[in-house]
Amino acid sequence: MSGDGLDNKKKIAADCFRKGNDAMEKQNFDYAVEMHSSAVQLVPDNLMFRQTLRGCERRLYGNNKKGAAFARFRLRLKRIRGKIRKARSKSNWTALDQAAEIGLTVNPWNAQLNADMADACFNLGFTEIAEYGYKSAVENDPENRGFLEKLGEIYELRGNYSQAIDCWKKISKLVPNDGKVRAKITGLEATRVMDHGGYEGAKTTQEVKKTAYDDYKLTSDKHVPDAVAGPGVSVEADLLRAIRKNPADKGSYLKLAEIYRKSKDFAKADEILQKAFEATGSADFNIRQMIEDVELDRRKHEIDLAKSFVKDEAGKKNMEALKRELHQREIEVFAGRVERYPMDANLKYELAVRYMKSKDYKKAIPLLQQATVDQRRESKVRVALGKCFIAEKQVKLGRYQFEKAIEKLNAHDDPPLYCEANYILARLCEDASDIDKAEKCFSDVLSVDYNYKDTRERLERLQRGTGGQPDGESGET
């Protein structure tokens, strides 16, 4: 599919998502499910779309844990099962995904349908959504070994070894005499420690196992169990008790999620926010935004972890793919927020910066122009706007933005931005043979940072009257 076609689909999906959210606020859940379903069908790799749809479906049935009336569901389920079998036999994962989603609009708690959706998404490469689907399947059928194994495999694949271990321990309780399950747990514990604990230099397997056990014990001891921790002993336990006491109060959910987020336990943060999402009616945009923030933080953390394990070309490609996914997701998140809060200049600036990173300057420019109304960030915004105009070969417009930015800049408030703006403006003045202005800007840079790039060399050439660029250098900024 062409880039324009994909962008058009995303725009339509975003519009459906917005209409669905508006319908949720008005308690019109039938229409909300219809709109969110359309968004999922148009952009199937968007986790937030799926999560919001599922929360909306549950609200449609008053969180009854059963879905539509059984007689109606049984008739539709028979047809849906036929479509699922047909799609699976042909490895048509898109059709399988769509059929499972149709079933989930009738009963969003059905464990097998959640697993079917997850299986389809896994084969389509949507591993985050596959994880979400299998988590839902396990929640609704906690003793299903097949679901637990699949969820554990996805956790392991994504490097979430502690959660993978939890899945296999649950399986061990179901089949306590299975040696393969015990071996799997031991192997995962060792892998988790070697991957995150820096024990690659362990001399023997037993040494790794011992360290793995010690590390696991220490990790477990960080959180005092709710059953034994009295009030005031554990903030986590206090907040969990508060949630049980008043599940409709979003404040306790948000505080607990922030604790998990700061400790980089993103899985727990997401889990508690999903519960808040359901408990408060799925229409609270503060919760939705925090879920998005946790997702972005988790993606950034995964990239940071990947950097330390890049050892070959395949590893580099994997890390670059993670960066591209993060970048695209940031654009989706900020585009949605800009649409939701059209008067927020900072959101427009953040979205524009992402477009600049993609060299999509035509989309960044109007956002930055609108963002200049925020006087607190005007200088920063105008520097970005100037760069966009230069990239679009609109040099005069670019120079004007840098001149306006410098009027507002203070060398003591933001030295790096002050130097950058003056340096680029000086280069533009060089190209325009405006020597006096170029000398002044270069001098202003040196007054703050005497070693900034090649500023001294350029200023000395101008003062000698030789001007021009160093050998082999263009006039681009």
pLDDT, tens digit (0-9, with 9 covering 90-100), for 395-429: 999 999 999 999 999 888 899 999 999 999 999 99
Residue of 58, 44, 9, 188 lying closest to 128 (CA atoms): 44
Model pLDDT for residues 234-244, shown as the tens digit of each residue: 888 888 988 88
Q: φ, ψ for residue 433 (rounded to 5)?
A: 60, 25
Residue 423's domain comprises: 409-477
Domains of the chain: total: 3
Q: Which of 282, 306, 339 is the last residue of a domain?
A: 339
149-153, 322-326, 456-460: which range is least confident on average?
A: 322-326
24-45 per-residue burial string, b: 16 or more CB within 10 A, e: under 16: beeeebeebbbbbbbbbbbbbb
pTM of the model: 0.60
Q: Is 370 exposed, middle or buried (0-12, 13-18, 19+ CB in 10 A)?
A: middle
Statement to judge: residues 275 and 328 lie in one domain? yes
Token pair 């389509």 is at which residue? 124
In a domain, 323, yes or no: yes
**Helix, strand, coil shares of the chain as percentages rounded to 5?**
75, 0, 25
In a domain, 70, yes or no: no
Statement to judge: residues 208 and 168 lie in one domain? yes
Report DSSP letters for 281-349, one per residue. Answer: TS--HHHHHHHHHHHHHHHHHHHHHHHTT--SHHHHHHHHHHHHHHHHHHHHHHHHHHHH-TT-HHHHH
The Cβ-side half-sphere exposure at 72, using a 13 Å CA radius, reads: 8
User: Domain with 216 in it: what CATH number?
Assistant: 1.25.40
19-33, 355-369, 388-402: which range is least confident on average?
A: 19-33
Q: Which of 288, 304, 339 is the last residue of a domain?
A: 339
Model pLDDT for residues 60-104, shown as the tens digit of each residue: 888 888 888 766 666 777 889 899 999 999 999 999 999 999 999
Calpha distance 175→54 (Å, rounded): 32
Report DSSP letters for 110-129, one per residue. Answer: -HHHHHHHHHHHHHHT-HHH
Q: Which of 339, 354, 374 is the last residue of a domain?
A: 339
Model pLDDT for residues 260-304, shown as the tens digit of each residue: 998 888 888 888 888 887 777 655 677 888 888 998 998 888 888
Statement to judge: residues 248 and 207 lie in one domain? no
Amino acid, res. 437: K
Statement to judge: residues 218 and 239 lie in one domain? no
Statement to judge: residues 245 and 334 lie in one domain? yes
Q: Is 225 left (phi over 0), alpha (psi -120 to 50) or beta?
A: beta
Statement to judge: residues 213 and 243 lie in one domain? no
